[in-house]
């Protein structure tokens, strides 16, 4: 008796031989997204360069050597048109990371094209219910490119990863209150995955009932929490000489886990349908809940004028990024 049920999911991961790829694959096969009973057909994709494909084969050898009971089938690809066939869950990680002194939007020129090709391939090959999370930076606009290049899929299929920012904020708050992260809830990070992102604790709770607004002084929220989260990626690059990888992989796992299994409140980068005055199709961080199938943007939250002003700055930056890739679409 294997103890496993008969369910098998098809998962594609791009950039599979990169830093984040190396951190995420082992966790997917450990059951951290779909559970300990669901087998995985894993389709790994990286670029068609000998050295990279050789490295991808090396990763595959290691995955085999883990003897994961959940690994049902493993295939390696250099073409998303084969790597995305019937895919139900797709982690779009493969893209250039920034180096010191760069902003994430400086990567648009190098990375935007990747997400056009992948959007087209998803449109042709993926399951109509595919759940896509874009990790490659600048994640929000790359997700927008992929979404716009996949007109036969629903826009709801596409999301960008803002969960690392969310997790960073939750950790900072828990640590400030000398508490555990699982006691902090209802925080959101609005806008772009960039220094303009807006950390919002207005509805935040400790232990499910104590309002964070009563527990945290505004000076700390504005002067420490907000800049710490907004600049965390750059700080890690400065310290490590490389951009975040294991924490990014962990956030991508959390993002997909909650989308698939449900949650009462988290942050996802998802296309606006005009909520909170954010223009349609802008992929912004929003507070969402998930019912195990779909996410919904949490509605009717109070947004102060000051908060709205900050969100508008981040949205203006996303509009500018969209303008800059217009010729790609
Ligand atoms: P990395 O350089 O270690 O790996 C990137 C991998 O992607 C490489 O193996 C490369 O060959 C591959 N790749 C490039 N173009 C590809 C394509 N067209 N198809 C498939 N694979 C392709 O980089 P990394 O550290 O793993 O980071 C990957 C991306 O994730 C970067 O853009 C980085 O900035 C971003 N990132 C985002 C977040 C976030 O919170 N959204 C967090 C961390 C990193
Ligand atoms: C992060 O937030 O750590 C990533 O987006 C990597 C980066 O470039 O900051």
pLDDT at 322 over 60: yes
pLDDT > 50? residue 1: no
Which position among 57, 81, 166, 193 bears the catalytic label? Answer: 193
Per residue in 129-171, pLDDT (tens digit) is: 999 999 999 999 999 999 999 999 999 999 999 999 999 999 9
Question: In which region does residue 67 sit, left (phi positive, over 0), alpha (psi from -120 to 50) or beta (all else)?
Answer: left
**Taking 80 as the threshold, does the pLDDT of residue 46 lie above it?**
yes
22 pLDDT above the threshold of 70: yes
Ligand 1 site-directed mutation target among 97, 143, 144, 236, most atoms within 8 Å of CB: 97
Ligand 1: does its nearest atom lie under 6 Å from the Cβ of 189? no
Minimum-distance ligand 2 atom for the alpha carbon of 97: 8
Q: Please name the residue whose Cα sits nearest to atom 9 of ligand 2.
A: 233
Average pLDDT score over residue span 228-249:
96
Assigned superfamily of 8-160? NAD(P)-binding Rossmann-like Domain (3.40.50.720)
pLDDT at residue number 4 = 60
Known catalytic residue at 257: no
Q: How many angstroms separate the alpha carbon of residue 98 from the centre of ligand 2?
A: 8
Q: What ligand 2 atom has the least distance to the C-alpha of 98?
A: 8
The top-level CATH class assigned to 163-328 is: alpha beta
pLDDT at position 38 over 60 = yes
Confirm whether pTM is higher than 0.75. Answer: yes
User: Which atom, in ligand 1's list, is nearest to the CA of 20?
Assistant: 26
Domain range summary for the chain, segments of one domain joined by +: 8-160, 163-328
Q: Is the pLDDT of residue 218 over 80?
A: yes
Mutate to test the pocket of ligand 1, among 243, 250, 284 (most ligand atoms within 8 A of CB): 243
pLDDT value at position 102? 87
**What is residue 100's predicted lDDT score, i.e. its pLDDT?**
85
For 191-210, write each residue's pLDDT tens digit: 999 999 999 999 999 999 99
Mind listing the pLDDT tens digit for each residue in 84-128? Answer: 999 999 999 999 998 888 888 889 988 999 999 999 999 999 999
Instruction: Report the percent of the chain where pLDDT is more than 90.
Output: 94
Q: Ligand 1: does its nearest atom lie under 6 Å from the Cβ of 96?
A: yes
Name beta bridge partners: 286. 268
pLDDT at 186: 98
- pLDDT value, residue 101: 85
Query: Which of the four pLDDT bands, split at 50, 70 and 90, describes residue 2?
Result: low
Residue 62 has pLDDT above 60, yes or no: yes
Question: Quick one: average pLDDT of 51-67?
Answer: 98
């Amino acid at each position: 008796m294997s103890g496993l049920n008969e369910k098998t999911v098809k998962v594609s991961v791009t950039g599979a031989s990169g830093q984040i790829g190396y951190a995420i694959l082992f966790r997917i096969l450990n059951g951290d997204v779909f559970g300990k009973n669901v087998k995985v057909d894993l389709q790994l994709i990286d670029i068609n360069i000998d050295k990279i494909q050789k490295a991808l084969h090396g990763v595959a050898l290691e995955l085999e050597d883990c003897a994961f009971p959940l690994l049902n089938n493993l295939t390696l690809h250099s073409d998303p048109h084969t790597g995305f066939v019937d895919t139900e869950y797709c982690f779009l990680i493969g893209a250039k990371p920034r180096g010191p002194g760069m902003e994430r939007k400086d990567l648009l020129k190098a990375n935007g094209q990747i997400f056009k090709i992948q959007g087209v391939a998803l449109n042709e090959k993926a399951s109509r219910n595919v759940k896509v999370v874009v990790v490659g930076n600048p994640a929000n606009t790359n997700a927008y490119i992929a979404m716009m290049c996949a007109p036969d899929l629903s826009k709801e299929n596409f999301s960008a990863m803002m969960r690392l920012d969310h997790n960073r904020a939750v950790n900072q708050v828990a640590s400030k209150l000398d508490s555990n992260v699982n006691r902090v809830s209802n925080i959101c990070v609005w806008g772009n995955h960039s220094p303009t992102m807006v950390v919002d604790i207005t509805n935040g709770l400790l232990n499910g009932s104590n309002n964070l607004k009563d527990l945290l002084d505004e000076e700390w929220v504005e002067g420490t929490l907000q800049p710490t989260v907004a600049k965390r990626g750059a700080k890690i690059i400065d310290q490590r000489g490389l951009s975040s990888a294991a924490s990014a992989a962990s956030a991508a796992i959390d993002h997909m886990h909650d989308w698939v299994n449900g949650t009462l409140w988290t942050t996802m980068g998802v296309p606006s349908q005009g909520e909170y005055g954010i223009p349609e199709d802008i992929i912004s961080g929003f507070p969402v809940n998930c019912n195990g199938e779909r996410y919904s943007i949490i509605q009717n939250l109070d947004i102060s004028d000051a908060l709205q002003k900050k969100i508008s700055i981040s949205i203006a930056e996303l509009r500018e990024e969209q303008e800059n890739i217009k010729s790609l679409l």
